[in-house]
Structure 1
Amino acid sequence: MKTLKMKDWGLGLGKHVVIAGPCSVETEKQLDDLCNSFEREPQIGMFRGGVWKPRTRPGNFEGLGDTALPWLQEVRNRLKIPVCIEVANAAHVEAALKHQIDVLWIGARTTVNPFSVQEIADSLRGVDIPVMVKNPINPDLALWVGALERMHDAGLNKLAAIHRGFADPYDKIYRNKPNWNLAMQLKLELPDIEIINDPSHIGGKWEMIKDISQRALNFGMDGLMIETHPNPKEAWSDARQQVTPEQLLTILKEISFKEKIDLEAEIPSNLKEMRNAIDHIDQKLIDLLSDRFHVIDQVGAYKKAHQLAVYQGDRWKNVLQNRIDLGKQKDMSEKFMKSFLVAIHDESIKRQEKQMALEKEVAKTI
């Protein structure tokens, strides 16, 4: 994967930008009511509103389209902040530019399709407008990075990512599982990219927004996009995950917008000591894992010599339960212990399979 030079990337909206507005633009009165609330709140840095709504199934409200765009122009004039909308094709882009929309975002259903992303990128060539790219529905980092690359290759430098979570039919907590590690991997791939968290779509319930927002900020994300409606119970789409302006302001007061420490010189001495201790422990962990895998290699050699199957179900079941119990005794969660042990087991299986494959290759050459 190519490395992008991103020093000039970013929306330039300052630290911890808060983007708020309804899931869908419904009526002029709806926007007027929100403006009345937001005019008294300087913390709102951008206004969002869904104009074209890509719905999973037909028959649901799919947005007012072009009708809503002049209303958003009036919102910008009143609040003196940028307005942003989602676009899914070149026609949407053309209409948005015609009505001088300030910022565009590409939705999760669009990010998953490189053809659609490329169509949008081509329609924006030569246009100086900020674009935010939501993660794809499925947990595929390459698709997310690829969409940003396509925008960059079209000459767009004012880019940001939106972390809105990933579909997981087995997760019963979130509407879209956050998979925080994937957002952090994006930051490793593109170190200077700004990441805006969308707690509304991750939680799917307004009661979860505060905790998800705080966790996003704890992970160092650069802002929040929170769906806000004057009367969520009467919202035409995603009613359950929207908050009132009053609830939004309460959330913003209760979460902590901690500043990130960017320079090593600014790190307090006691924090440096704790980090040094962590580095030392990590080195010991890696040494122990290396020792464990050397023993695994010996186990693999034994299985190969005695024609035993790589996977031994009863043994793995016993090891998993025993180690989970040991971890819980040391104040480690069952969820963490299981994922940690499964990762080790997967690597152990791969190493043993590699030995079996080498045996077959040697047999072919004899």
Structure 2
Amino acid sequence: MKNKKELNTWLNAFNLSRPLVIAGPCSAETEAQVLSTARALKNTDTSILRAGIWKPRTRPGNFEGVGIIGLEWLLKAKKETGLLTATEVANPTHVDLALKHEVDVLWLGARTTVSPFVVQEIAEALKGTDKIVLVKNPINPDLALWLGAVERLYKQNISKLGAIHRGFSTYQKITYRNNPEWQIPIDLQTEVPDLPLLLDPSHIAGNRSLIFDLCQTALDLNYDGFMIETHPNPDEAWSDAKQQITPSHLSEITKNLSIKREISNSKTFIDDLASLRAKIDVTDKQLIAILGERMGIVKEIGAIKNKKNVAILQAKRWNEISQKMIQLGKEKQLSEDFILQFFKAIHQESIRQQKEY
């Protein structure tokens, strides 16, 4: 794979903007809608027009896409505006049709990435293509599945590869439609530092009001760009209306984003950062010590429960703790999402520790 420091050969080869912006409707609905969106996006920072042609809906009966006719609309928009085009493919038939209609960017959706069999079939259908192929994270938080999908494509001599972070499904929805789980894409960057990484804030947010903050976070984490669902009349969209924005809103977002420098050579900056990181190191060690002490108490509780033949899981106690910690977290300006995830992890480890008795 190419060196990311060159900002990705395929970005340069297509003369694409940085950060890269892929935008367009969740679903292609009508020819007029696709063309009007493309015309409006032509005057933004958008380089690639996206539109869903086939929509993998969670439950039957929802709008599942217009099918092949939508590819004709994309091709027409491409010829009129000069924008590259992108769509999701979920099987070899989709791949064949997309290639025949000169689609420039093909992506594998979150529901596709979870299946190595399907990914392999798509990879073989794309073998040797010079198209850009992007892989969304699987719906479940599994880094190995995400990496495996990328590797299957790479082994078919597909060199213009990238990843899309669209968040991970959770049973309990609090702030986001799909939890970002930022550590997983950070781990992906560590494993494959030369792989371009884009953010899909629309699917993470599920709510257009959160998109700007998500995009800024992605830039702060050195992402290469975004895929943002954009529609001329979002509230009238046939799918995912709440998370889509207008082209003018997109322009406002990209205009106000701040691209941070990766590093500063200022001595003051370096010294201040080193000092603060040293404090974090000390605090982290204290945190581990406190967690170890807590688990020691948990083991004692486990021994008492075992002696009296009492069940390990006490749902009422857990609910009391979680609500109390959420409130304490708020007082320290810690998000409810973070507190719940943190204490769920502690709770799971506590159960594991108690099982030893």
Helix, strand or coil at the partner of 1:44: coil
Measured against aligned partners, the alpha-carbon deviations of 1:35-61 in whole angstroms (never above 9, x if no partner) come to: 3323333x2122211122223344443
Counterparts of 2:239 and 2:128, CA distance in 1: 34
Helix, strand or coil at the partner of 1:276: helix
Deviates more, 1:331-340 or 1:98-107: 331-340
- Which segments of 5 or more consecutive residues in structure 1 lack a partner in the other structure? 357-366
* Pair 1:200 & 2:202 matched: yes
Structure (1 or 2) with the larger CA radius of gyration: 1
The letter of the residue matching 2:22 is I
Residue identity over aligned pairs, in percent, reads 46
**Which among 149, 159, 162 is matched to residue 161 of structure 2?**
159
Aligned counterpart, 1:231:
233
Deviates more, 1:344-353 or 1:131-140: 344-353
Using structure 2 for the length normalisation, give the TM-score: 0.82
Counterparts of 1:63 and 1:85, CA distance in 2: 12
Distance 1:274 1:243, change over 3 A: same
The letter of the residue matching 1:231 is N
Counterparts of 2:273 and 2:340, CA distance in 1: 30
The letter of the residue matching 2:36 is D
Counterparts of 2:111 and 2:259, CA distance in 1: 30
Counterparts of 2:130 and 2:266, CA distance in 1: 35
Report if the CA contact (8 A) 1:110-1:117 is conserved.
yes
Q: Where do residues 87-166 of structure 1 align in structure 2 (5 Å cutoff)?
A: 87-166=89-168
Report if the CA contact (8 A) 1:310-1:353 is conserved.
no
Aligned counterpart, 2:23:
20
Aligned counterpart, 1:362:
none
Aligned counterpart, 1:30:
33
Deviates more, 1:302-311 or 1:340-349: 302-311
Q: Where do residues 188-267 of structure 1 align in structure 2 (5 Å cutoff)?
A: 188-261=190-263
Report if the CA contact (8 A) 2:161-2:195 is conserved.
yes
Aligned counterpart, 2:77:
75
Helix, strand or coil at the partner of 2:47: strand
Counterparts of 1:233 and 1:57, CA distance in 2: 21
The letter of the residue matching 1:311 is I
Counterparts of 2:342 and 2:317, CA distance in 1: 17
Using structure 1 for the length normalisation, give the TM-score: 0.80
Counterparts of 1:61 and 1:329, CA distance in 2: 43
Offset of residue 102 of structure 1 = 1.1
Report if the CA contact (8 A) 2:303-2:354 is conserved.
no
Counterparts of 1:80 and 1:31, CA distance in 2: 14
Measured against aligned partners, the alpha-carbon deviations of 1:210-230 in whole angstroms (never above 9, x if no partner) come to: 233233333433211111122
Distance 1:206 1:351, change over 3 A: closer
Offset of residue 337 of structure 1 = 4.2
Counterparts of 1:28 and 1:321, CA distance in 2: 50
Measured against aligned partners, the alpha-carbon deviations of 1:297-332 in whole angstroms (never above 9, x if no partner) come to: 5x2796499566583748777776776666666554
Deviates more, 1:249-258 or 1:283-292: 283-292
Counterparts of 2:125 and 2:48, CA distance in 1: 24
Counterparts of 2:149 and 2:69, CA distance in 1: 28
Aligned counterpart, 1:364:
none
Counterparts of 1:39 and 1:256, CA distance in 2: 22
* Pair 1:283 & 2:319 matched: no
Offset of residue 168 of structure 1 = 2.7
- Which segments of 5 or more consecutive residues in structure 2 lack a partner in the other structure? none
Offset of residue 265 of structure 1 = 9.1
